[in-house]
A and B are shown apart, each in its own frame.
Chain A
Amino acid sequence: MTTENTWQTICPTSDLIKNSGVCAILANQEQVALFQVGDDTIYAVANFDPFGKANVLYRGLIGETKGDVYVASPLLKQRFVLNTGACLDDGTLAIKTYQTRITDGKLEIFG
């Protein structure tokens, strides 16, 4: 079974935590890690850690190296660039990224 992708309303933007992550679940049960960096940048990537094989990426620390903003997995510390999903520690892997937008103070994810 496949479902058509649509914009899904997730939560008020006030539920996000600055410079830290929260997690949302989509209609198809996919988990998305949401990060607010600074006052107005929001990133959405898959919450599943492909190394640790657990839904934990939203609990990782946000870091930056040479301008790339990434999340470091709380399990084994692999780093994933938030706007591309690329893994900085293993060039053969990337995690899924999602589009986001804000409508009437609510965060929406395309997924």
Chain B
Amino acid sequence: MSRQPQKIVVVGNGMVGHHFVDEMAKHAGYEITVLSAEDRLAYDRVHLSEYFSGKTADDLAMTTPAYYNEIGVKFFTNAKVTDIDKAAKIVTTETGDTFAYDKLVMATGSYPFVPPIPGKERDHCLVYRTIQDLEDIQASAKAGKVGVVVGGGLLGLEAANALKELGLQTHVVEFAPQLMGVQLDKDGGALLRSMIEGIGVQVHTQKATNEIVDGETCVHRMNFADGTHLETDVILFSAGIRPYDNLAREFDLAVGERGGIVVDNNCKTSDKNIYAIGECALWNNFIFGLVAPGYTMAKVTADNIIGGEQQFTGADMSTKLKLMGMDVGSIGDAHGRTQGCKSYVYSNQPDQIYKKIVVSANGKELIGAVLVGDTSEYDTLLQYALNGIELPENPDGLILPTSGEKPTLGVDALPNTATICSCLNVTKGDIIAAIDCGAVDVGEVKSSTKAGTGCGGCAALLKKVTDHELEKRGVEINTDLCEHFAYSRVELFHIVKAEQIKTFDVLIEKHGSGLGCEICKPAAASILASVWNDYILKADHVSLQDTNDVFLGNMQKDGTYSVVPRMPGGEVTPDKLIVIGEVAKEYKLYTKVTGGQRIDLFGARVDQLPAIWKRLIDAGMETGHAYGKSLRTVKSCVGSTWCRYGQQDSMAMAIFLEDRYKGLRSPHKIKFAVSGCTRECAEAQSKDIGIIATENGWNLYVSGNGGMKPRHGDLFATDLDDETLVKYIDRYLMFYVRTADRLTRTSVWLENLAGGLAYMEKIVKDDHLGINAELEKQMQNVVDTYQCEWKTTIESTEQLKRFRQFVNSDTVDGNIEFVTERDQIRPAQGDEKKYGVQIQAVDLTLA
């Protein structure tokens, strides 16, 4: 007998509501329905401001209808719940639709508080919470010159930054005497203020707004209680948040005195079938305005519904963030309000740094900290505070600048309960468990624990803990390429360049041992090709290459090869298309259009390759390097040449780039795309190098990936002209070619690169390492010495000799057999094979 699935209805699809769905969907036997008041599904509010730096609503999305369909979750957008019948267990939406539930989860979040100031309803008076708000702000900013944010807290300053980036002359108006009063003490707040004013945002503290009226030079005039006034075109209210608890009030769930749906440690409200999680929930008389505690509540609730006993026991509210380019951190009792506590302060005005730590009365524990201008000690301090680790004798050493090594906390000192990743709530113990289950590097620890996949702030600590634990188990963190070279690929690259080494034999003789293997030979071949760009099948190199490179085609499962002519940007003339068709027909090749906008021909025997390629080259085509660790394709849309939305000629740019970088040998394959507008038809953000046309030029995205581990490219630079775009790509790619490990795509490379994206920006944009001229020169050399490998090959009788199956016969390999399927060939399998002599291997278990 099968049980009726329990009906779970979730009200609100914000970050926490979505997290709950994800947790709940892991368990079978529940029917989950999501009701979202917004016109879209959950998106990343934490990174909302990135909407102004080029991220689209799609980028911010945390889920998609397709994903919910896939995991069997029903969902409705524009479905605001207006009625709860607790007795009948039914909710009703604004549109009158009803939904029965067994368990109801309220995840309605909160809304911005707008102080009751006369005039607050005027046009261009807005808030900062949803994607819709941002669209409204963008529209209002277009028409104005001046913007004011009411509220100088964390969110207010983030909003101020947005106004500034939209080109408005920006002011922050704060009621209290200082900025970020919740997180910072007076001196920290003062430093932050001077830094913010230093970048041109005017700060007005101790200002109460009496009314908003018509302005003289701007749209509005704000009249303050002290008699002063300020004229502005746009006003953003960011004066705190209020929980969406209206449903709870109306339908008799307990709410707190100052709002919030009261919940217990199980996240249950006063009705046993209703839970509340996230920013609408009031736990222990406290509302958590951060996403991580909400995630924990989501997990606890899902666990409770399936009968588990997890409890929510509060959360740490420490924060570290970058505000308008300035580092700010706050831990625990930042204000030093604990009885008997003492503090240590370090202040450096010239460099604009302020640090304070608050220690317990007995001087043994760290209970709070404020960091402004430099948050490099944040991780260490947080671990001290969270785990009650005993402080060193002179705790001020933790924040004082030293000439030598900083006294960072050894990861060994952390207890197993120490939280390493607070977004996903992963402890040191969880990491150890992952390693015990076989994880052997940070990547694997990440994928099994999900640590570091939230805000990413714990990356350095995560790596330290992982490496330390691995070392303890005697796992050597070995970066040797293989048993023949005690160097990493990067080190070998430098050796080849520095010593001008041109062959593998010299390299292994001078710097390695033995004969080499299938790991170091292709790696060396790739390095030699990147540095010298010789013909890869020169006598010295041929024995180093993987079969794909030796025969200039991708070997398929039956030993035949694919033939892929280059089709820059996916553009092809009818004449060339006809030749491809004729060749495919004559040699009976299986024909398929690829995702990279070109045509693959499959099933060519090694002895047929030269003749096939001769036909293609005679018709003006060239090799597509589909076999190489090198540039594959530059996907594109037609752009402004044909498309009515196109901003730039993406087609011409794609062809130019494909021609420029074709033949570049690299640690792994490289894919590009160029889209003519933000509709992104070429899917550039999933490519190693992605380019999207804007009104003013090109936005450059880097290190995206589709495939096994999809990754959205990072926005690297905006509105570039053609010349700068190419320079940036030259530098970025050449730096990757030089520094990545073998078989590492740009996405993984960037994620593992110390300093990450910010470091790459410094190198590429500011010439931080002083090597840009050299990188460009090296790339230019690759461009200038390009040759079509297939052309060189078919012009050499010596090379052609290698394309015989047999040295002693012209017969063909009888074991290659095809059958017909959907009017084309495919390899025969198993019993379908009729001819061919197969020499069976000796089964040693019978010997």
* CB pair B543 A17 closer than 8 Å: yes
* CB pair B547 A54 closer than 8 Å: no
* CB pair A56 B542 closer than 8 Å: no
* CB pair A63 B521 closer than 8 Å: yes
* CB pair A92 B546 closer than 8 Å: no
* CB pair B521 A61 closer than 8 Å: yes
* CB pair A34 B807 closer than 8 Å: yes
* CB pair A55 B842 closer than 8 Å: no
Q: Which of B484, B546, B802 contacts A61 (CB 8 A)?
A: B546
Q: Which of B543, B805, B808 contacts A19 (CB 8 A)?
A: B543
Shortest CB distance A19–B (Å): 4
Q: Bits for B547-589, please: 1 = Cβ < 8 Å to A, else 0.
A: 1101100010111000000000000000000000000000000
Q: Does B390 contact A (CB under 8 A)?
A: no
In the bound complex, what is the Cα–Cα distance between A22 and B546 (angstroms)?
15
Nearest residue, chain B, Cβ from A56: B559
Q: Does A96 contact B (CB under 8 A)?
A: yes
* CB pair A93 B808 closer than 8 Å: no
Shortest CB distance A65–B (Å): 6
Q: Which of A19, A59, A91 contacts B555 (CB 8 A)?
A: A59
Q: Bits for A30-62, please: 1 = Cβ < 8 Å to B, else 0.
A: 110010010000000011101011111001111
Q: A56-B559, A74-B546 are in contact. Are A50 and B807 (CB under 8 A)?
A: no
Q: A23-B805, A24-B808, A75-B557 are in contact. Are A61 and B518 (CB under 8 A)?
A: yes
Q: Which of B520-563 contact A (CB under 8 A)?
A: 521-522, 542-548, 550-551, 555, 557-559
Nearest residue, chain A, Cβ from B484: A64
* CB pair B547 A59 closer than 8 Å: yes
Shortest CB distance A85–B (Å): 7
Q: Bits for B665-683, please: 1 = Cβ < 8 Å to A, else 0.
A: 0000000000000000000
Nearest residue, chain A, Cβ from B815: A55
Q: How many residues of A contact B (CB 8 A)?
A: 51
Q: Does B349 contact A (CB under 8 A)?
A: no
Q: Bits for A64-91, please: 1 = Cβ < 8 Å to B, else 0.
A: 1111010010110101000001110001
Name the A residues within 8 Å of B559 (CB-CB).
52, 54-56, 59, 75
* CB pair A23 B522 closer than 8 Å: no
Name the A residues within 8 Å of B515 (CB-CB).
37, 62-64, 69
Q: Does A20 contact B (CB under 8 A)?
A: yes
Q: A17-B542, A92-B844, A93-B842 are in contact. Are A75 and B806 (CB under 8 A)?
A: no
Q: Which of B545, B801, B809, B842 contacts A95 (CB 8 A)?
A: B842
Q: How many residues of B contact A (CB 8 A)?
A: 46
Q: Which of B484, B557, B839 contacts A52 (CB 8 A)?
A: B557
Q: Does A25 contact B (CB under 8 A)?
A: yes
Name the B residues within 8 Å of A30 (CB-CB).
837, 839
Shortest CB distance B656–A (Å): 35
* CB pair B518 A53 closer than 8 Å: no
* CB pair B808 A91 closer than 8 Å: no
In the bound complex, what is the Cα–Cα distance between A65 and B550 (angstroms)?
23
Q: Does B840 contact A (CB under 8 A)?
A: yes
Q: Which of A20, A61, A77, A93 contacts B841 (CB 8 A)?
A: A93
Q: Which of B517, B521, B544, B808 contacts A10 (CB 8 A)?
A: B808
In the bound complex, what is the Cα–Cα distance between A87 and B516 (angstroms)?
18
In the bound complex, what is the Cα–Cα distance between A93 and B522 (angstroms)?
27
* CB pair B518 A63 closer than 8 Å: yes
Main SS class of interface, B: loop
Name the B residues within 8 Å of A31 (CB-CB).
806, 813, 837, 839
In the bound complex, what is the Cα–Cα distance between A30 and B546 (angstroms)?
25
Name the A residues within 8 Å of B546 (CB-CB).
61, 74
Q: Which of A53, A64, A85 contacts B842 (CB 8 A)?
A: A85
Shortest CB distance B515–A (Å): 4
Name the B residues within 8 Å of A37 (CB-CB).
515
In the bound complex, what is the Cα–Cα distance between A77 and B517 (angstroms)?
11
* CB pair B843 A92 closer than 8 Å: yes
Q: Does A28 contact B (CB under 8 A)?
A: yes
In the bound complex, what is the Cα–Cα distance between A67 and B515 (angstroms)?
9
* CB pair A50 B518 closer than 8 Å: no
Q: Does B59 contact A (CB under 8 A)?
A: no
Q: Does A3 contact B (CB under 8 A)?
A: no
Q: A31-B813, A55-B815 are in contact. Are A72 and B837 (CB under 8 A)?
A: no
* CB pair A25 B815 closer than 8 Å: no
Shortest CB distance A80–B (Å): 9
Q: Which of B816-847 contact A (CB under 8 A)?
A: 816, 837-845
Name the B residues within 8 Å of A67 (CB-CB).
514
Q: Does A11 contact B (CB under 8 A)?
A: yes
Shortest CB distance B543–A (Å): 4
Q: Does A4 contact B (CB under 8 A)?
A: no
* CB pair A59 B843 closer than 8 Å: no
Name the A residues within 8 Å of B521 (CB-CB).
61, 63
* CB pair B807 A22 closer than 8 Å: yes
In the bound complex, what is the Cα–Cα distance between A77 and B547 (angstroms)?
11
Name the B residues within 8 Å of A16 (CB-CB).
807
Besides the contacts A31-B839, A52-B557, A75-B555, what 19 more A-B pairs have beta carbons closer than 8 Å? A17-B542, A19-B543, A22-B807, A24-B806, A31-B813, A31-B837, A47-B839, A54-B557, A55-B559, A55-B805, A56-B547, A61-B518, A62-B543, A67-B514, A72-B518, A79-B518, A92-B845, A94-B841, A95-B841
A selection of 16 A-B contacts at a CB cut-off of 8 Å is A10-B808, A25-B811, A31-B813, A48-B841, A52-B557, A54-B557, A54-B559, A55-B815, A55-B816, A59-B551, A62-B515, A63-B518, A64-B484, A65-B514, A77-B518, A93-B843
Give the 10 A-B CB pairs with smallest separation, nearest first: A63-B517, A50-B841, A19-B543, A74-B547, A64-B515, A54-B559, A72-B518, A61-B518, A20-B543, A56-B559
Residues of B at the A interface (CB closer than 8 Å) are 483-484, 514-519, 521-522, 542-548, 550-551, 555, 557-559, 606, 801-802, 804-809, 811, 813-816, 837-845
